[in-house]
Structure 1
């Protein structure tokens, strides 16, 4: 279930970004033709500009109907929910503590409850395997790439009980290990991995935000300069201020779509929280407090938490 939803999330994410890029590109090219038409007085260029503006509107309608962004976020939430529950099951975290009588049945119940909540907002379980998609840089998944660790609950392993198809042999093997071993596996294969992922994402988003901010500031300054030059009569043949302003607006819209600034903040805050939790888990958590500590750590890595930080913290 994780791999299926993860692939659908990547597909929808790629579609959402491609559609937005196409819409912004059409709008910018239409503005270029409009500027040329105004300068040369060409009816052909005016018609081409009008056609491209119309295509921009059509693209926007298609984007709204396909709801790729909503599907991306729903499948990402489903994938990361399954992964988080799997890790808690493996290491006796959250509700899957050592004294639970039927951990397999509880896993199935917890999974269904979480997926039921996602179904209410439009999520549907993929009915067939999606095509191959490439992760898009700067995306908003709540977790890092799929690992190849022996104890990764999302690794390609067959379940040993057809009644519980989401529970693999690796998950059962870790759950049967002593507390010290489970703790070491969780800290190494889950927490440290996510620390590295969130740290890298924060740096990447910060750099992208800096580049795009500098570009849009430069375009805005050029638009201002062009307008001032024309206002004092130093240049009257070309009016590029509108085109430059449209280019700057396109850059701003792209930055808002990719959410570089808020994601840089959110990923940095999640990494700080994970670093604190790692220290707590490694040093001072006894086996009795372990389930609650793991649940708190997993909460930090959920996409909903990252999205909340991006919305209100950045």
Structure 2
């Protein structure tokens, strides 16, 4: 079955969405793995450096070689660009698909299916022309899917209910869940970093008094630096605030859409999709993506 009476699943969206979504997820996975290895190697280098023994010094050389290799790979492959560019293209394709399927502007119900499909395909072509090569992975060629046409052909009430439930409410739940998850992670990481700082202070005092001869404080300093760098990469606090704001804004949009009649529906959908796109634009900006 290609779709549901309720709305659109990810499999019901154009192939461009699945292609760019796959490229984004792969880029994110590679980037985070590369970053993890870089930070782990930094801690390992600090540990080998304080041991000051021949095997440890040999290991230190190998660690720096590995670190250089990871850095070169990150610089040449730039997996974060595939992550950001792919996500931008995926969200753009998704918003166009929902606009088309529920007769939102610029694909209002006054247009025939053929004319609306032609306009939709032209919009997808524009996205493809502007999309960086890193934003796509090979996938099928279908533009307008059967599920999109089925939903578009349904009554206004059915389209409205499907959009409210399977687009707005689903997106709101996603933002709310992600907000709670990021806030919780931020709190845990803050506590962990404070604990490492406390251990580093204790180790430094013990080293100063001569009780501890091993430079544990130096190792803990490297661990603290790696932890802080990972915390900055994941941006738990920033995302927690942004997702909370987005969930709140979508609740307001839901109320407005619930009151919309068929005469203003197309524009209300367009405004709702603009709000969703704006949240993604803010996410990209927080990641330093253009």
Q: TM-score range by the shorter chain?
A: 0.7 to 0.9
Aligned match of 1:241: 217
Tell whether 2:150 aligns with 1:126.
no
> CA RMSD, aligned part only?
2.1
Which of 119, 143, 150 aligns to 1:106? It is: 119
Which of 41, 55, 58 aligns to 2:69? It is: 58
Using the alignment, how far apart are the partners of 1:5 and 1:117 within structure 2?
13
Question: Relative contact order (C-alpha < 8 Å, sep 6+): which is higher?
Answer: 2
Compared CA separation, residues 305 and 183, structure 1 to 2 (3 A): same
Contact 1:96/1:103 (8 A) holds in 2: yes
Residue 261 of structure 2: SS of its match in structure 1?
A: coil
Residue segments in structure 1 that go unaligned for 5+ positions in a row: 130-163
Residue 157 of structure 2: SS of its match in structure 1?
A: helix
Using the alignment, how far apart are the partners of 1:309 and 1:58 within structure 2?
28
Aligned match of 2:271: 296
Aligned match of 1:153: none
Compared CA separation, residues 311 and 21, structure 1 to 2 (3 A): closer
Using the alignment, how far apart are the partners of 1:124 and 1:216 within structure 2?
35
Which of 191, 197, 204 aligns to 1:227? It is: 204
Using the alignment, how far apart are the partners of 1:18 and 1:33 within structure 2?
22
1:1-314 aligned at under 5 Å gives the runs 1=15, 2-37=17-52, 42-100=53-111, 102-119=115-132, 122-123=133-134, 125-127=136-138, 165-231=142-208, 233-283=209-259, 285-302=260-277, 304-307=280-283, 310=286
Using the alignment, how far apart are the partners of 2:135 and 2:201 within structure 1?
49
Return the structure number with greater helix share.
Answer: 2
Residue segments in structure 2 that go unaligned for 5+ positions in a row: 1-14
Compared CA separation, residues 117 and 98, structure 1 to 2 (3 A): same
**1:235 shift after superposition:** 2.6
1:227-257 residue CA offsets vs partner (Å, 9 max, x unmatched)? 23433x2435122111111101111111111
For normalisation by structure 1, the TM-score amounts to 0.80
**1:176 shift after superposition:** 1.5
Using the alignment, how far apart are the partners of 1:266 and 1:310 within structure 2?
10
Using the alignment, how far apart are the partners of 2:60 and 2:136 within structure 1?
42
Contact 2:19/2:138 (8 A) holds in 1: no
Contact 1:8/1:75 (8 A) holds in 2: yes
Q: Which moved more, 1:50-59 or 1:89-98?
A: 50-59
For normalisation by structure 2, the TM-score amounts to 0.86
1:94-150 residue CA offsets vs partner (Å, 9 max, x unmatched)? 21112335111110111122232223xx44542368xxxxxxxxxxxxxxxxxxxxx
